[in-house]
Structure 1
């Protein structure tokens, strides 16, 4: 076995060695027999100028390399270091390509030994890591990485990571290593050779299976423990009615526990709502301790009532994870009895071991699928849940997940995996749980499926409750997305493509002793072609309809276009006819495929596991096409009062087009199907009231004004001391000037504020178009070149990744839209200045807003005061809440919308947030305040 590894890192003038980019720093760390034996690094004279951005990234400038050796002077040393070794690097192909060019230019043959990529190794060995950048991994492993983008420091950290990875590999069950071995042949590096050598050295008989791992039908899995309520319950289960008793309980879990009257009030309100079987609305400000405020009384009530389950539903995955991993363990420290809590998600979140095990037999995987299989093999030795959300999958990995996710099985024998089924385990755990944590969507799915997903329950807590109506609106509606439909059809494919159609045809050809197949391959192929054509035609018609309604003036950005069957003219009628054809073709395709499956089963041939797996995938496809058919009918054919609209990006209308149908009002649905069926539902959030009134949320959810309990618990923070709210008076009215003029003025203000606040700014927009123009102008101005400027939808990565990067840099500015208005937690000095560009009113011609307004008008109400204003106020409260997350935070809020102080309704916004110091003035005056504050 190779016991020598040379970890290389290079800094270069750019990314393209073939185009003349050169090395400016070389570093190597030699590892032999598990220890670092030598380190070598040198600056290199690239014999060309170092670009400014490389100098900023690495700290290496032209002066520093002026007297450094050229690469040819150290080439012999590099060759001697690499002799008989693995070449190791973080993203190995980058470093290897540069080194090969330089070695050949220096008169050497180059390096042709085995290579290892620590990025690949990290992805496989740490399948649940948040990120795989060197800095991310160093932070995860608590490695000192004080000079990122300097080769000597990066090489040293990579070497330390490699040693950790080698130990991790050796600790895996020998079965897992054996299963990784054939897959590793599809990687970019020579991990297969390393695994082969490792297996030769490992003594299979002596290498014990790790204590927490078991072998099940040729898969190494972490042992699952089914939780039960077998704990010995302490005799006193009486709920602590006075604050001293509550404080004594809290003290049991902690050395000291802050007395929070608001939290005590919330505990009592939740407990009494359950006891008296009344629905309840509780607005709890930041810092109240909301989670413990409802979990503690929920636990008591469950135990007192023979372990009746309490369902806790959230909107975000982050809060679910926080409840399970942080709040419940806290609760179990505090209480005199054990609380059994489980997290239950939709079935597709869980892996099917039967399908995954079968997939290991597949050949000709692409790179993403190979890597994902290797990730999952390692993950199965450590996961207790089998939940996809634990994994960090690539986009290709997510496509593979669709093939192996849990779902009803027709042809694969799921029964033999029954005891190890993660979804069934989660459901079994939920049957005996005191608290079931789930999300709003699954809660609504359970209503639709008549209680077949969740165990019977009568008591519910809806956290992030201000989202429940919006989730219900989406849930009771339907949407058609062009790319999603084309991807679905592409899964089956045409006969000349290597997809399910070809596999089905080949299976039929391979089987004998059967009648003639009911339909010729050509006819089935034509059905797929016809369906593809009709889908394209439908969306062409949708785009034409949208363009006609928009006119030429609005064809340069994303838009929403209301659709009405009754007054849509010829285009609407053409859409109806096209949708009908698609519905018929989908049915014909289902029948044609089903006939072939039935023919296969009639042949009575013994099907191989591989063939069963193909049939299982085809059955899933049939089910998905039936869902699509129902959606098409729901959008275009069935009679309904749903609001219908088109969302389109005019820059790529054929690809980025969605047709949506949603009910304007869901209050009646929720009242009939949910609230009237439950004994007590507690709805809580930091944003439920407008001007101290619950009227808006009561109306949206269909709750009764009189019978519903209501409580407001103010935040414990001292906002007067912690926050200054500033309003520039010298910005033009946005409706009084063009968008470009407003953006120019806005950008000037942002630059002035950023320089005064020294970064750490989050800027919230209500429209992506304005965000994009502002970002571009800030970058073009050159005034903030020493700031890291990131923008949602422009800078790479998800909102979570943008936030991580934002926190990483000292002088950072982040521009965000919808998803950044709430659920974003940036405590402490990571955020010191929050800018709100416009009051977050929905556009009056936005289809859902228009439809809701129409309903309110028809019953004699005022759409602005009953809907538009309260919706905007609640969103404003959410945005405002991003700044102060702890009692020690302090910061500036800048609202660029003068309507906050120039209109009567502006008071509704100010009176709905905690009392703060409000200052208005010119940008010069406000900059002075900011400088003195920060």
Structure 2
């Protein structure tokens, strides 16, 4: 970039955020925030110099406009990646149109989601053709989707309002890589997934999510088709999620659901096209039987650490037996190559499954964790690298300006843990505190006389007593955030008979439906676990109190944590201070961030875990929290809440 262009962009940024600039002219009540201008200038510098920037921008900094305005004014090709669909849609449908109108520019803009967010016309047609066997409710929803399909321009299932987001029909008609037949599909020309990708390749500004971004980068590394163009600027919002998401993409995961569906489809292909080869059905049926036996053994044991599970001789024998049967089927199908395109596709997919299973069963990589996640009927097998920094370092090339931002990145006023974890140690680091008046508008309480958090019976009793006082004082308007479903459900059962305000408990409906109901009620109490700790924005008097049951440390039994802890110990470092503590600080900050969402918001945060005040490591949490007034007196909490009108 020339010095003339650099100076033009810098001047345009200053004008846009000035007291009589673009934002002031278009936004009623706008006043420039120093921290927002600082962030915009830092983003501008990163774009000008093709450098990397990491910014923790506290709630209220206005980080969205602070990165969007420089990115848009630069005229460069920009990818904006978010951690959630909600933010992705807010950016595309609200923030970007608003800013483009203010700036009076009209670059091509595209929204791209993972393929399972789009309707597959081919799958829908197949379901309609076989609708006689469908459950009446599924059929009713399918007909609603068919009607919507004739009206939608993009096939984005997020825009489907006539069917519940948890409807059983959705997995049957959502686009899927495993079931895609590519150019051989009758609907290829009008395919919603293909058209969405085509729009993205042609756009100047593309809004994606972290999962899709990493999927695209990994595909490029392996030489397969690209989903996204190479861009000049990439902005990661909600960047605190990147490290965990990167683990997924630099590792490997295999669902036994996909394998089950593939085996059933091979039998269908035999029955329709290859009836002269009964050995296909016989051997495939043997594989299904062996897979069912293996599933049964796995669910009988219910352990998550694969290395430990493989120590069981019976399970190990069953696992290797399954792999042997699948490899035999693979060899058989190889002898029928060319007789059926569908069978050829099935063989390719089967080869992928057998290779992944072999890699997982062998568990030879000492720098990875091998874990099993149990679903309702199926398993997900994961290989997760202990350290993704080296892999990430290769992705964040020097030809692109990389901007990483979130409200929660620092530990003890330091961003090093985040930058080291992603291999971006040379990036410029910037911490911008929230401009909100936390000392006067927010109160942090760690009540006195709390029992040890390990004593669940006492913890439930104490949390319910504390919550009852706070809920009554706040007239509902409370979130209670838990670190486990077990604790949440135990407290919900007792609270139902203790408070007169409506209780909304995670699991009663989707996250969005519960939040919508909470806002409509105006006096609700919402109980939730991890999903509600972040990405939730309830402003004003609707939410006056947030209660957190305990510090959110990762379970010591977590397979990836154990593998990382072993690796850290071998280096002579302490796993607790290196992994557990930093992760817990970030997670707590996310939960705390639900309370004050606007400069006029007031509220109380109650933490029912006295380790934050009586353990030395508690200071790391306190140093990373906003500067709220503090008390240990529930009487002061009640008075504070009663004054919020």
Tell whether the structures are fold-level matches, with TM greater than 0.5: yes
Relative to structure 1, is the Cα distance of residues 401 and 384 closer, same or farther in structure 2, using a 3 angstrom cutoff? Answer: same
- Of 347, 350, 362, 2:115 maps to 347
8 Å Cα contact 1:342-1:435 kept in structure 2: yes
Deviates more, 1:380-389 or 1:887-896: 380-389
- Of 622, 627, 632, 2:357 maps to 632
- The CA deviation at 1:407 is 6.5
Question: Which residue of 2 is the match for residue 791 of structure 1?
Answer: 505
Question: Which residue of 2 is the match for residue 421 of structure 1?
Answer: 191
- The CA deviation at 1:661 is 2.6
Question: Which residue of 2 is the match for residue 771 of structure 1?
Answer: 488
Question: Which residue of 2 is the match for residue 473 of structure 1?
Answer: 247
Whole-angstrom CA distance in 2 between matches of 1:355 and 1:783: 49
Q: Deviations over 1:754-779 (max 9, x none)?
A: 22222111111112221122122223
Whole-angstrom CA distance in 1 between matches of 2:175 and 2:432: 47
Aligned positions of 1:797-876 closer than 5 A:
797-876=509-588
Q: Deviations over 1:641-662 (max 9, x none)?
A: 311234459xx8xx47654331
Whole-angstrom CA distance in 1 between matches of 2:618 and 2:305: 29
- The CA deviation at 1:882 is 0.4
Whole-angstrom CA distance in 1 between matches of 2:380 and 2:476: 37
Question: Which residue of 1 is the match for residue 68 of structure 2?
Answer: 295
- The CA deviation at 1:901 is 1.7
- Of 406, 410, 413, 1:689 maps to 410
Residue 457 in 1 paired to residue 231 in 2? yes
- Of 698, 712, 720, 2:431 maps to 712
Aligned with 2:113: secondary structure?
coil
8 Å Cα contact 1:821-1:878 kept in structure 2: yes
8 Å Cα contact 1:840-1:875 kept in structure 2: yes
8 Å Cα contact 2:473-2:638 kept in structure 1: yes
- Of 307, 318, 334, 1:564 maps to 307
Whole-angstrom CA distance in 1 between matches of 2:378 and 2:471: 35
Question: Which residue of 2 is the match for residue 389 of structure 1?
Answer: 158
Aligned with 2:323: secondary structure?
helix
| Greater RCO (CA < 8 Å, at least 6 residues apart) | 2
Relative to structure 1, is the Cα distance of residues 361 and 770 closer, same or farther in structure 2, using a 3 angstrom cutoff? Answer: closer
Whole-angstrom CA distance in 2 between matches of 1:846 and 1:334: 48
Unaligned residue ranges in structure 2 (runs of 5+): 1-6
Whole-angstrom CA distance in 2 between matches of 1:349 and 1:926: 44
Aligned with 1:877: secondary structure?
helix
- Of 567, 585, 592, 2:325 maps to 585
Aligned positions of 1:260-409 closer than 5 A:
260-301=33-74, 303=75, 308-353=76-121, 356=124, 361-362=129-130, 364=132, 366=134, 367-368=136-137, 370-391=139-160, 392=163, 395-402=167-174, 408-409=180-181
8 Å Cα contact 1:839-1:876 kept in structure 2: yes
Residue 645 in 1 paired to residue 417 in 2? no
- The CA deviation at 1:875 is 0.7
- The CA deviation at 1:620 is 6.2
Relative to structure 1, is the Cα distance of residues 620 and 787 closer, same or farther in structure 2, using a 3 angstrom cutoff? Answer: farther
Aligned with 2:534: secondary structure?
coil
8 Å Cα contact 2:411-2:582 kept in structure 1: yes
Aligned positions of 1:60-71 closer than 5 A:
none
Whole-angstrom CA distance in 2 between matches of 1:538 and 1:471: 29
Aligned positions of 1:701-780 closer than 5 A:
701-704=422-425, 707-735=426-454, 738-779=455-496
Aligned with 2:247: secondary structure?
helix
Question: Which residue of 1 is the match for residue 400 of structure 2?
Answer: 679
Q: Deviations over 1:449-505 (max 9, x none)?
A: 1161211224211110000000011222334556x25xx525654xxxxx7735641
Residue 908 in 1 paired to residue 620 in 2? yes
- Of 637, 642, 645, 1:931 maps to 642
- The CA deviation at 1:508 is 4.5
Deviates more, 1:343-352 or 1:825-834: 343-352
Aligned with 2:169: secondary structure?
helix
Aligned with 2:402: secondary structure?
strand
Whole-angstrom CA distance in 2 between matches of 1:926 and 1:903: 23
Question: Which residue of 2 is the match for residue 250 of structure 1?
Answer: 23
Question: Which residue of 2 is the match for residue 224 of structure 1?
Answer: none
Whole-angstrom CA distance in 2 between matches of 1:887 and 1:477: 42
Whole-angstrom CA distance in 2 between matches of 1:273 and 1:362: 55
Question: Which residue of 2 is the match for residue 501 of structure 1?
Answer: 267
Question: Which residue of 2 is the match for residue 669 of structure 1?
Answer: 391
Deviates more, 1:852-861 or 1:433-442: 852-861
- The CA deviation at 1:801 is 1.9
8 Å Cα contact 2:482-2:549 kept in structure 1: yes
Aligned positions of 1:50-89 closer than 5 A:
none
Aligned positions of 1:25-64 closer than 5 A:
none
8 Å Cα contact 1:720-1:916 kept in structure 2: yes
Question: Which residue of 2 is the match for residue 442 of structure 1?
Answer: 212
Q: Deviations over 1:326-375 (max 9, x none)?
A: 11111112214223221112334333445545665556252355434432
8 Å Cα contact 2:121-2:173 kept in structure 1: no
Deviates more, 1:267-276 or 1:239-248: 239-248
Aligned with 2:132: secondary structure?
coil
- The CA deviation at 1:624 is 4.7
Which of 1 and 2 has greater Rg? 1
Whole-angstrom CA distance in 2 between matches of 1:417 and 1:647: 35
Whole-angstrom CA distance in 1 between matches of 2:317 and 2:472: 59
TM-score when scaled to structure 2? Answer: 0.89
Whole-angstrom CA distance in 1 between matches of 2:386 and 2:437: 39
8 Å Cα contact 1:299-1:434 kept in structure 2: no
Whole-angstrom CA distance in 2 between matches of 1:250 and 1:889: 23
Whole-angstrom CA distance in 1 between matches of 2:99 and 2:381: 45
8 Å Cα contact 2:239-2:406 kept in structure 1: yes
8 Å Cα contact 2:123-2:174 kept in structure 1: no
Aligned with 1:908: secondary structure?
helix
Question: Which residue of 2 is the match for residue 221 of structure 1?
Answer: none
Aligned positions of 1:892-903 closer than 5 A:
892-903=604-615
8 Å Cα contact 2:17-2:32 kept in structure 1: no
Whole-angstrom CA distance in 2 between matches of 1:619 and 1:378: 34
Whole-angstrom CA distance in 2 between matches of 1:500 and 1:375: 30
Aligned with 1:395: secondary structure?
coil
- The CA deviation at 1:920 is 0.8
Whole-angstrom CA distance in 2 between matches of 1:733 and 1:355: 53
Whole-angstrom CA distance in 2 between matches of 1:912 and 1:749: 25
Aligned with 2:632: secondary structure?
strand
Whole-angstrom CA distance in 1 between matches of 2:61 and 2:246: 27
TM-score when scaled to structure 1? Answer: 0.63
Aligned with 2:11: secondary structure?
coil
8 Å Cα contact 2:201-2:227 kept in structure 1: no
Relative to structure 1, is the Cα distance of residues 257 and 624 closer, same or farther in structure 2, using a 3 angstrom cutoff? Answer: farther
